[in-house]
Structure 1
Amino acid sequence: MSGLPGSKSEQGHHRLFDFAKTAIINIFAHPYTTVCELYCGKAPDTDKWEAAPIGHYIGIDTSSSGISCLGEAWDSEKKKYDLEFFEADPSTEDLESQLEKFVGQVDLVSCWRHLQLCFETEESARRLLTNVACLLKPGGYFFGITPDSSTIWAKYQKNVEAYHNRSGGTKPNVFPNYIRSESYMITFELEEEKFPLFGKRYQLKFSGDNASEDHCLVHFPSLIRLAREAGLEYVEIQSLTDFFDDNRAQFATLLMNAGPNFVDPRGKLLPRAFDLLGLYATFIFQKPDPDLEPPLKTPFEGGPFLKSSFTILQRELSGNTDTITPAEDSSKGLGKISEQKGILGPGPADLRFTEAI
């Protein structure tokens, strides 16, 4: 990457992330819905939601200065829907008392860049999901994007294996603490082979960016368990590369318009775009509606979001989930959720190992 300010190469990962948000919003947004965006920041996705058009937008962020800027910008524009902003931290505060009038009234709750930070502790992750369940009306969806911990951990395991092969096993208690590709570098704070449920911190730095991002790995089985305890049912966790493949007919043109060098003329992801998109996953949960018969309905007819894996998840979560370990050979069937594409497994098939390192 050139690293020049404003260069296309520097902004490539930002444009890919923006594409993914636009595509997901296009699926979920419907006329007159009430939308709540958690950690909306100084640049919420109000324009993306306007195309629906939605009926009401609620932005929640921890920054009072950001909320002030948003209010001023809103006053200078004419939107087709109502908008309100609130200063709060959904991972530490009880939103039921602060947003009392919206309890059980929100159709869609989105969280694009903060779920991974809530996995610093189990308490903060539980508080976030409890707040989401409180705001959603029955049948409403909670969704967003988070770094794909399955893929990240698989790449890390591959580094560990390669290191041990090179060192000939002479340093069995020493592990590399980084992942490097052409487009980014991930550095873990601690060198270890176990994937703890909470607090596994790392820094993500993209080529061309001066600063790194601080994250925690999201332990997907724990996310699903805590969501269920809060009253949210699992729908899907899917790599963005799989998401794109499942929806290529709808979104290939959208990605082509996002910038050059993302897809080939046939609409297939080019290697660099595949690497960047594969770093993230979309998550989808739903608050059950007791008036509707199961299974949960997908956001749109013919969509890919509902997988026949819920009973497998129940078996997976009933066992030991203290750490994520490599899956068994996927050719043996789909006995575990970790063996399925883009959900909880150790990432792409070519990165799977039959035994722990």
Structure 2
Amino acid sequence: MKRGYSESSSTSLGPPQSRFKHNPEGDAQFLEDESTKIFARKVADHYSARTNQTLEERENSPIIHLKKLNNWIKSVLIQLYARRGDAVLDLACGKGGDLIKWDKAKIGYYVGVDIAEGSIEDCRTRYNGDADHHQRRKRFTFPARLICGDCYEARLDEVLADDAPFDICSCQFAMHYSWSTEARARRALANVSALLRPGGTFIGTMPDANVIVRKLREAGGLVFGNSVYWIRFDEEFLEKKFKSSSPFGIKYKFHLEDAVDCPEWIVPFHVFKSLAEEYDLELVFVKNSHEFVHEYMKKPEYVELMRRLGALGDGNQDQSTLSPDEWEVAYLYLAFVLRKRGQPDRTQANAKRDKGQMHISKEDITYVNSS
């Protein structure tokens, strides 16, 4: 790796794996405190309140090229790891912005989970082809199921017992919301592990703790950013040091124009990696978004995908591209791939096509109450 994600690179951000030995019998008893639930609800309400934009509104966004770049990164991850007929679990699926990507991958079954009721409803209308902004695609080729619930608190293996195992799990720009407490972080990884088949893949994107902490320490105060984003840490982090014994609950406020305005949590990646290993999830790779772009833009098929998505212009008439400020925001994120331990059994036929619906009604949505 060009950028160090070794344990030594973030010694100030978290303990070694040995401090996180857990009791498997205790996993079902993960405890939540009320303040964490309040923050989770704030995040849910924020995303629920965001309305679907028209194409014109979207194109006028001050971060339109960043959004297109993020779509490219997600598309590359899906093209790299999704296979025809795969059963897909999309955690924090939001409004279903990746449905078309999964359709192009010719998956066989899709389950989307999100805490925000408004987002799940938007995802439903998008899947059904009912939304005005979605007229270009009338029907998806795979059956789907939607679940409204907190995937960092609910026991999804119980809810999805008849749907599992999944071939691939995706959690895009949302895993860090689980890092408010160790209990939530463990529940998130326990859910992924329990629902993935042996050899299954977990793909995702989330903030890069190394970059954020470095920027904090380079800043004059507790706030840093540019014309399209700012990050603010509370006074408790005035010394800009983080206890190695407390890698969870390191909260900051993140504002990104036309996208995000809510609390987030630092995820020290080496702690994430160690915790994931406890749940039989082994790291395949982790790359900062800048490194990811530089690596996969060497491949012609992904250059063409970038041209079609327009993050860097189309190379012809459209010379628009990411602004330096948008490119700086991209540097705040990383992409990761984990694999569930064990040998895959590809001989088992995927019988999931009779599980979901080809048209999802309001009554088809499953609501999961948090414990």
Normalising by structure 2, we get a TM-score of 0.66
The offset of 1:38, in angstroms, is 0.3
Q: Does structure 2 conserve the Cα–Cα contact (< 8 Å) formed by 1:186 and 1:202? A: yes
Letter in 1 for 2:74: K
Pick the aligned partner of 1:252 from 278, 290, 303: 303
Pick the aligned partner of 1:116 from 171, 176, 182: 176
Letter in 1 for 2:248: F
The offset of 1:222, in angstroms, is 1.5
The reply on whether 1:94 has 2:134 as its aligned counterpart is no
Alignment of 1:49-68 (within 5 A): 49-68=102-121
SS of the residue 2:283 aligns to: strand
Q: Does structure 1 conserve the Cα–Cα contact (< 8 Å) formed by 2:180 and 2:250? A: yes
Q: Does structure 1 conserve the Cα–Cα contact (< 8 Å) formed by 2:96 and 2:122? A: no
Residues 8, 213 of structure 1: alpha-carbon distance in 2 compared, 3 angstrom cutoff: same
Q: Greater helix percent: which structure?
A: 2
The offset of 1:211, in angstroms, is 5.9
The offset of 1:260, in angstroms, is 6.0
Counterpart Cα distance in 2 of 1:212 and 1:73: 24
Letter in 2 for 1:88: G
Aligned to 2:18: none
Q: Which has the higher contact order (CA 8 A, sep 6+)?
A: 2
Q: Does structure 2 conserve the Cα–Cα contact (< 8 Å) formed by 1:236 and 1:284? A: yes
Residues 50, 260 of structure 1: alpha-carbon distance in 2 compared, 3 angstrom cutoff: closer
Aligned to 1:205: 255
The offset of 1:151, in angstroms, is 0.9
The reply on whether 1:192 has 2:192 as its aligned counterpart is no
Counterpart Cα distance in 1 of 2:204 and 2:128: 27
The offset of 1:221, in angstroms, is 1.7
Q: Does structure 2 conserve the Cα–Cα contact (< 8 Å) formed by 1:263 and 1:273? A: no
How many residues were matched structurally? 271
Q: Does structure 2 conserve the Cα–Cα contact (< 8 Å) formed by 1:262 and 1:272? A: no
Structure 1 portions without partners, runs of 5+: 164-175, 293-357
Normalising by structure 1, we get a TM-score of 0.69
Counterpart Cα distance in 1 of 2:215 and 2:127: 43
The reply on whether 1:82 has 2:143 as its aligned counterpart is yes
Counterpart Cα distance in 2 of 1:19 and 1:139: 25
The offset of 1:35, in angstroms, is 0.6
The offset of 1:263, in angstroms, is 9.3
SS of the residue 1:124 aligns to: helix
Q: Does structure 1 conserve the Cα–Cα contact (< 8 Å) formed by 2:69 and 2:311? A: no
SS of the residue 2:271 aligns to: helix
Alignment of 1:250-329 (within 5 A): 250-259=301-310, 271-290=324-343
Residues 79, 290 of structure 1: alpha-carbon distance in 2 compared, 3 angstrom cutoff: closer
Structure 2 portions without partners, runs of 5+: 1-55, 130-137, 346-371
Counterpart Cα distance in 2 of 1:21 and 1:106: 19
Pick the aligned partner of 1:24 from 73, 77, 80: 77
Q: Does structure 2 conserve the Cα–Cα contact (< 8 Å) formed by 1:29 and 1:54? A: yes
Aligned to 1:156: 216
Residues 57, 181 of structure 1: alpha-carbon distance in 2 compared, 3 angstrom cutoff: same
Q: Does structure 2 conserve the Cα–Cα contact (< 8 Å) formed by 1:94 and 1:131? A: yes
The offset of 1:264, in angstroms, is 8.1
Letter in 2 for 1:181: N
Q: Does structure 2 conserve the Cα–Cα contact (< 8 Å) formed by 1:244 and 1:251? A: no
SS of the residue 1:102 aligns to: coil
What is the alpha-carbon root mean square deviation over aligned residues? 2.8
Letter in 1 for 2:286: I
Counterpart Cα distance in 1 of 2:213 and 2:313: 25
The offset of 1:65, in angstroms, is 4.2
Identity of aligned residues (%): 26
